[in-house]
Amino acid sequence: MLAIIPPKYAIAKVVEIIKSRSAKVMRSEYAWFDKPYYDTPSFWSVGYFVSTIGINEEVIKHYVRYQNKQDSGQAKLEI
């Protein structure tokens, strides 16, 4: 995901909110998600990548595509 976050907001807090709210939605709409994650309160991985200056958009897009490829072995949604 690429996001533009205004400087008045703490990046860590924005990421925390996105992960928290999206996890709630996923767990409520797809109850089967609770089975693989029943023993942990975590839904998303701990880390995230943030670039504020110095890396152009193409490098960031490449990173996001690479992470998508790396995560392709995880549970897949069938909607």
Give yes or no for residue 14 having a pLDDT over 90. yes
Give yes or no for residue 75 having a pLDDT over 60. no
Give yes or no for residue 26 having a pLDDT over 90. no
pLDDT band at 46 (very low <50, low <70, confident <90, very high): confident
Q: Which structural domain, as residue segments, surrounds residue 31?
A: 11-73
Per-residue pLDDT at 36: 63
Per-residue b or e along 50-77, where b marks 16 or more CB atoms closer than 10 Å to that residue's CB: eeeeeeeeeeeeeeeeeeeeeeeeeeee
Residue 3 lies in a domain: no
Per-residue pLDDT at 27: 79
What lies within 8 Å, CB to CB, of 37 at 6+ separation is 43
pTM: 0.56
Residue 2 lies in a domain: no
Of 66, 36, 48, 38, give the one whose Cα is nearest residue 12: 48
Residue 69 lies in a domain: yes
